[in-house]
Amino acid sequence: YWMTILYIEEPVELISFLALVGWMWKTRDMDVANVAPREEMRRVFNLISWIMMYGIAIYWGASYFTEQDGTWHMTVIRDTDFTPSHIIEFYMSYPMYIVIGVGGFMYARTRLPTYACKGWSIAYVLLFVGPFMIFPNVGLNEWGHTFWFMEELFVEPLHWMFVFFGWFSLAVFGVTLQLIGRVVELAHGHEELLGLEPAE
């Protein structure tokens, strides 16, 4: 039953990833440096939607599914890498947030001048790479639990890298500051729409 879910979700995730990357690249703006302010503002809010979906996916993957996996292992002890909890956590929720993260990152790089024309945003790279690196760390974690620590204690050295890379998600505040700064620049001169006095 659970392996059937694994056999279905892995190809679906791979196809989703390739389709999203292909679509983002094919539909990219070829003149991204000259986007009209109103269109750029719309794209900024689309990016905010991508980031919010990314945050929700990371939260679900790193909290609910990860905690239930720890509970599973403390109850059933170590068994295999393909437990029901792993099939949902490692092979569904983690790849899902990686696909969403790639989508948001590519959206920013192909549609917004702030990210496409001004070099690489360190904050956005950290926001994307940190949670992504949790996924390869799963292999080390599973190997370590098989040959080193059997207990599922969160303070074990095996779990330190999950926390380290998880902290990278705090880079969302840097990305937020970049977006707020750009929204302020785009809104400058349009204060009358909000009933505000023009800035001097």
pLDDT digits (tens, 9 = 90+) for 134-163: 888 888 888 887 777 666 677 778 888 888
DSSP secondary structure string, 67-90?
A: HHHHHHHHHH-S--TT-HHHHHII
- Computed over every residue of the chain, the mean pLDDT equals 87
**pTM, whole model, 2 decimals?**
0.86
Whole-number Cα distances in Å, 178 to 44, 71, 89, 103, 183: 10, 39, 32, 19, 9
In angstroms, the CA 145 to CA 111 distance is 43
In angstroms, the CA 109 to CA 112 distance is 6
pLDDT at res. 13: 95
Helices (H) and strands (E) in the chain, counts: 9, 0
pLDDT at res. 16: 96
Percent of the chain with pLDDT over 70: 91
List the single range of 79-93, 130-144, 180-194 with lowest mean pLDDT. Answer: 180-194
pLDDT digits (tens, 9 = 90+) for 99-125: 999 999 999 999 999 999 989 999 999
**The CATH number of domain 2-194, selected from 1.20.1050.50, 2.60.120.640, 3.40.50.970, 3.40.309.10:** 1.20.1050.50
pLDDT at res. 180: 95
pLDDT at res. 149: 67
pLDDT digits (tens, 9 = 90+) for 38-86: 899 999 999 999 999 999 999 988 888 888 887 787 777 766 778 888 8
Q: Is 119 left (phi over 0), alpha (psi -120 to 50) or beta?
A: left
Stretch 84-95: mean pLDDT: 89
In angstroms, the CA 56 to CA 79 distance is 29
What is the total residue count of the chain? Answer: 200
Residue 194 neighbours by CB under 8 Å, 6+ apart: none
